[in-house]
Chain A
Amino acid sequence: MKAIAKQIRLDMQRFSGTGRPWVGVLIYMSVPCIGILLNLVMALTGNDGEDARTALTGAVAGMGIGLIVGQVFGLFADFNNMAIRLNGLLPITRDHQVFGRYAAVILLVLVQSCGYAVFFFYTTDSFLHGRDHWHDTVLFALGLFLLESLLFAVATPLFYWLEPVKAMIVFLALLGLVPIMVLIGSLLPVDWGTFWNSIMQFLTSDLWRPVLLGLALILAVEMVSIVLSRKVYVRKEI
């Protein structure tokens, strides 16, 4: 447990690039904070239309997702030939390094999602028009958390397995599969409109069902991902 904590701390330090973990957290919180600030300025200047708010929300969310993806991939830069040897001499077993890495990434994603939840709650109108604002906020934060966790669950084993550049290429190639699947989906004789409607129905029906389902899904995905990472990393020559 102590060794895993060491790894989490180390990853936070690497993540911030300065050796100080709270700088990393600060970076995460900065985007929603700026969003809230901008919103405040807009409100004070009377430029408070719904369109402007929606645009702002979109911009801030996009920026935030870009930021976290960039930062966390930066975390994996220590798998290049030179820096990886630090992993070889620290008093942390490889298993504990893997557990710590996953914990650190989940922690970061969680912090970010919470930051965005605050931002969302205070600055946006409900995107599911007319529903309870709390409800929407939770769904928004959960959606962000799920999306990012899924991305890293796919990326992490790749980075344990391959050189950083190759891993990045494979990861991007996998992302490229998404539009292809959408294309294939559109060719299938399924009524997508009805399908999405039923999903929206499900999401808006109550809160606990989508949350539990989402968390269970991410737990399962993470488990598979951890198993893969351990298997790959234990054989790796550092």
Chain B
Amino acid sequence: MKLIISSLSGQPIYRQIEDQIRSAILTGDLKAGEGLPSLRHLSQELRVSVLTVTRAYTELAQEGLVENIQGKGTFVADSGDKVMRQHLENRVQSLLGEAVDTARRAGMEPDRIRGLLDGLLGNRGSAPASEEGKE
């Protein structure tokens, strides 16, 4: 698993770890049932504190992306399908949001944006992204 930590970015380190593991799970780099490195091992590898890694794992576990099995370690959750889909949709939404913001700044009309999107989707109609709130 690849993890790159920046100490200069304003983002807290636990958030960086959390984000990168989450995206590794979402992109399928980490498969369901696969074990994450142990807390203390990862802490040594990344040269960050144990509690920082603990916090990243805890938050991922709360999201349901990983499971902590007492005495065995942390594993990518199996029940993932639903949670996973949710996450993917959230991700799409945030990416689209970013695209729309950029388009607005560029002064593009809504219709023009829709046109671009349709173009990207090909001529196939597709289900609209769900209207879930942000994470």
A–B proximity contact (CB within 8 A):
no
